[in-house]
């Protein structure tokens, strides 16, 4: 990020920082600056839901200084000004928690902080510095997180004052594909979108800050939109309306490449046969076919794990199916980079269930290849 000497963290790491401060009861405000569409605000909402705490997201561009500070009016004796505060900020009364609108703990997100006007940021500054706005007092256990775009990240950029930033811990937030893929699997992103991006990382987020004409660009947010379309409609390369809807979200280049990628779908290997240990004998498998097969295999693995968890454990059939899937991706004929990435993808199908197998002697006997791979690739299991 140009001219800003701040640490760069991934979206997941940014979430960890927010979570750590909440658990430490450290309520020093946080600022996260990064490109649009990488999931900064959405991931914070997911974090609040997981922690079971409150969450309020204020898009500062939609508010004025008066909205935040409230409306002044004279007191009954006309000797002072009283502020009628807006109802948009967290409301928790420690003396009467039963009458509170919001929980005791929470995350208050001030979104688009670098796009808001200076007067709105000035109002927010008091909230950061004093944890109050005129007569309003921010609940003690609410953490303020400001997010926005950097100067070269696209969107309207009105800057951020050093005194504002100095009241906060400031980070640059960047998107990492492997991290997003974990989120995507858990949130039902279309498998073909994931498979495509496995082989076309350059289309994961292709915003060009130097272009004045690229109105539409690919990002994690826009690929989720494409996924929503494909989850409801069968892909048809002749369906001009479907292609137009996809292009409206990620641009023409990625859609053209996606069409070419989808031509390999019919060559996908039989994943049921792989799970049964009957590996298809195919020479010179294109990378596209490998990744499409892997995505389908990971989806079936997730179903196996879910079924076993409901039953309370792995039966012999499931153990052999998982072992066969692992053996297929670790086949010496596979490219090494594919095998390393594929094991990660299989783990993503259910991390807790999969990693528990590493300590199972029964599974080690069925699939010694995984233990051997884990020993020589410890970074996979960090």
360: left (phi over 0), alpha (psi -120 to 50) or beta: beta
**Average pLDDT of adjacent 10-residue blocks, the chain of 382 residues:** 75 96 96 88 93 94 79 69 73 86 93 86 85 87 91 70 86 91 88 93 82 76 96 96 96 95 93 91 85 90 88 88 91 82 84 80 86 70 51
In the prediction, which pLDDT does 75 show? 65
**The model's pTM:** 0.80
* Residue of 317, 312, 373 lying closest to 347 (CA atoms): 373
What domains appear along the chain, each with residue ranges and CATH number?
8-175 (3.40.50.300), 178-263 (no CATH), 267-381 (no CATH)
Distance, CA of 73 to CA of 350 (rounded, Å): 57
Region of 211 on the Ramachandran plot (φ > 0 left; ψ -120 to 50 alpha; else beta): beta
Residues contacting 336, CB < 8 A, separation 6+: none
| DSSP per-residue letters across 291-316 | HHHHHHHHHHHHHHHHHHHHHTS--H
φ, ψ at 342 (rounded to 5°): -65, -40
255, two tokens: 């859609």
**Residue 368 has which token pair?**
């010694």
Place of tokens 């350059």: 202
pLDDT of residue 153: 62
Q: What is the 3-state secondary structure (H, E, C) of 28-41?
A: CCEEEECCCCCCHH
DSSP string, 57-121: EEEGGG--HHHHH-EEEE-TTSSSEEEE--S-S----SS-GGG-SS-SEEEEEEETTTTS-HHHH
Which helix (DSSP H) or strand (DSSP E) does residue 66 occupy? helix 65-69
């Amino acid at each position: 990020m140009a001219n800003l000497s701040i640490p760069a963290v991934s979206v997941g790491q940014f979430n960890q920082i927010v979570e750590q401060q909440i658990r430490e009861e450290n309520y020093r405000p946080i600022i996260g600056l990064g490109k649009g569409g990488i999931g900064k605000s959405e991931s914070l909402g997911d974090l609040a839901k997981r922690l079971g705490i409150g969450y309020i997201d204020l898009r500062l561009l939609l508010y004025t200084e008066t909205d935040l500070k409230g409306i002044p009016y004279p007191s009954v004796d006309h000797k002072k000004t009283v502020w009628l505060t807006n109802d948009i900020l967290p409301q928790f009364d420690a003396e009467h928690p039963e009458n509170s609108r919001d929980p005791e703990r929470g995350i208050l997100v001030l979104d688009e902080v670098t796009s808001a006007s200076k007067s709105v940021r000035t109002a927010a500054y008091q909230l950061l510095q004093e944890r109050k706005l005129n007569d309003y007092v921010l609940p003690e256990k609410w953490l303020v997180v400001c997010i926005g775009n950097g100067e070269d990240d696209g969107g309207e950029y009105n800057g951020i004052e050093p005194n504002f930033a100095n009241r906060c811990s400031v980070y640059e937030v960047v998107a990492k594909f492997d991290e997003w893929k974990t989120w995507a699997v858990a949130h039902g992103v279309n498998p073909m979108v994931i498979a495509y991006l496995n082989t076309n990382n350059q289309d994961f987020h292709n915003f060009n800050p130097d272009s004045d004409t690229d109105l539409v660009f690919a990002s994690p947010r826009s690929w989720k939109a494409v996924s929503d379309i494909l989850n409801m409609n069968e892909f048809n390369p002749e369906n001009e309306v479907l292609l137009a809807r996809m292009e409206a979200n990620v641009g023409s280049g990625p859609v053209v490449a996606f069409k070419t990628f989808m031509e390999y779908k019919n060559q996908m290997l039989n994943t049921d046969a792989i799970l049964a240990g009957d590996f298809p004998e195919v020479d010179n498998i294109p990378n596209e076919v490998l990744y499409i097969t892997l995505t389908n295999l990971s989806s079936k693995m997730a179903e196996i794990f879910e079924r076993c968890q409901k039953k309370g454990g792995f039966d012999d059939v499931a153990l052999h199916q998982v072992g066969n899937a692992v053996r297929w991706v670790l086949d010496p004929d596979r490219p090494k980079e594919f095998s390393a990435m594929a094991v990660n993808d299989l783990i993503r199908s259910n991390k807790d269930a999969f990693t528990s197998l590493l300590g199972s002697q029964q599974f080690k006997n069925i699939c010694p290849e995984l233990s051997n791979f884990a020993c020589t690739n410890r970074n996979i299991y960090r």
